[in-house]
Structure 1
């Protein structure tokens, strides 16, 4: 089997178009199309229905993708093994609000297991991280479970790591949630869909109308505004603990139960048996 054609097929399936695959491969669209036709001829099946200059994957394409993922992973592992390097290299993403808590432990423990590994880390909103993993630009990511974006694109393997309670972070001297709600609600701009949803859930559970939002691009900006008495936010408790904000700002428990978030590790299904994923789960769960 032509592995170049198989890799091209997988890229088209992952990215959803010949154009995107050609851009990623730094080639022209006719070359990508030719590789797909070569693979179809070799296998004796139709992988894509072609109509109105669009490719629609057939059931055979979906079936082949499952096998292609495993084949190409094994080929990649074999290449790295023969080269004697890169077996532990990892591209890892963290949802922005969790990076400061988990990044030091991740790098320390991962390098202890793979001292020569190249580690690439990025932080972003969950929706962005999910897309990066789906499109093979990241190997795995810690994301907020159930966040927008996880229901679209290729399916990912998701393992729940832990749950966190949400608390209200308010200006100094704020003594109750009701008092905090007199301020504007501030959210991270890049996480506004996720954290707006959590704040919305909180207000809905309390029987209140959700307020309008103030959207700020960084968590540090949100905290600075709260410190200045300009607003409040709803955040995971670990975010507050990691920044040692106890005593500096008011931390209030919502007067409702079961308001929290779940953090999950997501990766592509072909990495289910990859030892790096098992190591990541041990690092984040301690087991």
Structure 2
């Protein structure tokens, strides 16, 4: 089994067709097809279901994909560790929840200093980002603090205060709990905290509406569509401008930490090590407002 066969297999699994994989690799389709068949012959099992819409993984193919991702990630890590001259370089893929207001400060400081790093940033909810770090899809991620998986290490970044916001019509708690909740999808740490408060108050939300971006949630709140539980630092100016109203929630629900997570068993390459150092330096230099 050749390493390139695993790379080809993984790309076909991601793209769903031989045609798309061939375009990405700049190979002829017959070459891709023969490499996949060779891999299936070596493993003595079909890896893909072939159908008119393309190709989907068999149960055995799904198992191989799990190992393939680990092998490819470990190989890339090995290259960085062996070839590195101590300076960060290569790809760095970072995930983040949508509401990390201080993230641009960290990224700007890092990218300006380490120009040989190809940095990519992906957004998602906390639970999804945790899974992607655990499965080697991301090198690390900024998430809201939660029960930490034993295979992960967390570096504290900063603490946020969450605040419940509404348009100016809503003034009392009774009115508040009648409003729809505007939030991210399940797995969001802020949503989980608000759900905990509702549960402890023995309140059932009347309606939950999910959105993909913070901007949409905030604009919908100002238009009276519902209420939202968001970092105070994100909406202080909106409150000063009279666009929204703050509603305080007890500290046990409103105080939340943002942490940066990575796998505990991966080598701390210069690329990721310097990224963590940048986070720590930013904290010491008081770049984060409280």
TM-score (norm. length: structure 1):
0.65
Alpha-carbon spacing, 1:261–1:202, altered in 2? closer, same or farther (3 Å) = same
CA distance in 2, matches of 1:104, 1:256: 27
CA distance in 2, matches of 1:140, 1:168: 29
For the 8 Å contact 1:205–1:256, the answer to whether it is kept is no
Matching residue of 2:54: none
Q: Secondary structure at the match of 1:183?
A: coil
Q: Which runs of 5+ in 1 are unaligned?
A: 41-47
Deviations 1:227-283 (A, max 9, x none): 223321112333324xx2232321221146344444332334454412333333333
**1:104 has 2:91 as partner:** no
Matching residue of 1:209: 204
Superposition deviation, residue 74 in structure 1: 2.1
Matching residue of 1:257: 252
CA distance in 1, matches of 2:178, 2:59: 53
* Correspondence 1:51-130 to 2 at 5 A: 54-55=59-60, 70=74, 72-78=76-82, 87=89, 89-98=91-100, 101-130=101-130
Q: Which runs of 5+ in 2 are unaligned?
A: 23-30, 48-57, 285-290
For the 8 Å contact 1:216–1:222, the answer to whether it is kept is yes
Alpha-carbon spacing, 1:279–1:79, altered in 2? closer, same or farther (3 Å) = closer
TM-score (norm. length: structure 2):
0.65
* Correspondence 1:1-287 to 2 at 5 A: 4=4, 19=13, 28=32, 31=35, 34=38, 54-55=59-60, 70=74, 72-78=76-82, 87=89, 89-98=91-100, 101-134=101-134, 136-146=136-146, 157-161=152-156, 162-172=158-168, 174-188=170-184, 191-194=185-188, 195-241=190-236, 244-247=237-240, 248=242, 249-255=244-250, 257-269=252-264, 271-285=266-280, 286=283
Q: Secondary structure at the match of 1:246?
A: helix
Superposition deviation, residue 28 in structure 1: 4.8
CA distance in 2, matches of 1:115, 1:145: 30
Alpha-carbon spacing, 1:54–1:216, altered in 2? closer, same or farther (3 Å) = closer
**What is the number of equivalent residue pairs in this alignment?**
257
CA distance in 2, matches of 1:253, 1:272: 43
CA distance in 2, matches of 1:229, 1:19: 44
For the 8 Å contact 1:73–1:270, the answer to whether it is kept is no
Structure 1, 66-75 or 256-265: larger mean CA deviation:
66-75
Alpha-carbon spacing, 1:103–1:264, altered in 2? closer, same or farther (3 Å) = closer
CA distance in 2, matches of 1:222, 1:133: 27
